[in-house]
Amino acid sequence: MSTVITRYALLFVIGALVLLAATHSLFSSSVVVIALQLLAVSIAIWARRSFPTKTFRVDAAPSAETIIRRGPYRLIRHPMYCAALLFIWAAVLSHLSDWTMAIGVVVTIIAALRVILEERFLRDRYPEYAAYAQVTKAIVPYLI
């Protein structure tokens, strides 16, 4: 199960986005929802641009020589998951139904499992990761 989550977490998120779009539940005319989704996209771009050249990978096996501590990584350890969850939950809450709520819950569970697995890997690979984890939150700055 952990291999499936590690390898296919991105596909689950993309699948959730496709399902929300197919049911016309991905975007909203609400200024608040638009702002939250733009913030999510901005966080994802900022996080991606924080990686050194040719070191970004989608899987949990980082290719960087050290922990990235610039950009949003100064505040949170998993800004890409933060961005994905913010984008999806903004959509879910703006089109609240049992169906959209189920999508949000499934994506959140998958992201949480992926964070747990990735954290184990990073602690094993980088001895300094434990100290980094003590001063940054996992997903939400200053909270979680």
Give the per-residue pLDDT at 66: 81
The pair of three-digit structure tokens given for residue 137, joined into one six-digit string: 């939150």
Is 137 in a helix, a strand, or coil? Answer: strand
Is 57 in a helix, a strand, or coil? Answer: coil
**C-alpha dist (Å) from residue 135 to 77, 83, 106:** 10, 20, 28
Exposed/middle/buried for residue 16 (C-beta within 10 Å: 0-12, 13-18, 19+)? buried
56 has a pLDDT exceeding 70: no
Give the per-residue pLDDT at 67: 87
Q: What is the pTM of this model?
A: 0.89
Please answer whether residues 11 and 106 qualify as being in contact, where contact means their C-beta atoms are separated by less than 8 angstroms: no
Q: Mean pLDDT check: name the lowest of 8-17, 71-80, 91-100.
A: 8-17
